[in-house]
Amino acid sequence: MGVEKIIMKISMILAIILLLMGFTRADYGSWIDFDKDCQDTRQEVLIRQSKITPILDKKGCKVISGYWDDLYSGESFTNPKDLDIDHFVPLAEVDRSGGDKWNKEKKQAYANDLKNKETLIAVSLKQNRSKGDKDPADWLPANKEYHCEYIKRWLIIKQEWGLSIDDRERIAIDNILEKCPALVR
């Protein structure tokens, strides 16, 4: 069995466990078009993060090409189909960290947060799927040069949204921060 199939099976098992624990992805909604310009949250993030002016479809609604640097892998991409929009702090992690007490409007606001450029980022499909719903105790980007910045962003988002940090997560974060002299704890 290939690595991709194993990851897919593990993801399915985790989804079932989360469902049994009370997390419901649907509570956070899907990508929406807040400003009614025909570009949903995914498209807005792709447009914002492209290093060049992206090319849109004839209607101007969907990104068909651009240039993105994946901070997680260190790779660059030109086809948006090769990218996922990652919730920097995954939705299931948000739910475990206090988001389960939010109403649906706040959950949807987090899931589509365009105000904080840290919350949603374009990353490779492979990296986003390997991350799943894991916190820094169980996953860090393949790009080791990004670890310190990753932890900094993680903490900013957790604080901004009033989310808790569990013991395993705190220990992992502290261990990483010890290697990040430029970051103040």
Give yes or no for residue 134 having a pLDDT over 80.
yes
- What is residue 50's predicted lDDT score, i.e. its pLDDT? 98
Give dist(CA 30, CA 118) in Å, integer: 19
Using pLDDT thresholds of 50, 70 and 90, give the confidence band for residue 185: very low
Q: With both helix axes pointing from N to C terminus, report the angle between 167-177 and 147-160 in degrees, rounded to the nearest 10.
A: 140
CA angle 155, 119, 10 (to 5 degrees): 85
> What is residue 132's DSSP assignment?
T
Percent of the chain with pLDDT over 70: 88
Indicate the burial class of 71 (C-beta count within 10 angstroms; 0-12, 13-18, 19 or more).
Answer: buried
pLDDT tens digits for 41-100?
Answer: 999 999 999 999 999 999 999 999 999 999 999 999 999 999 999 999 999 999 999 999
Cα atoms in the Cβ-side hemisphere of radius 13 Å centred on 120: 23
Give dist(CA 10, CA 162) in Å, integer: 29
This prediction's pTM: 0.84
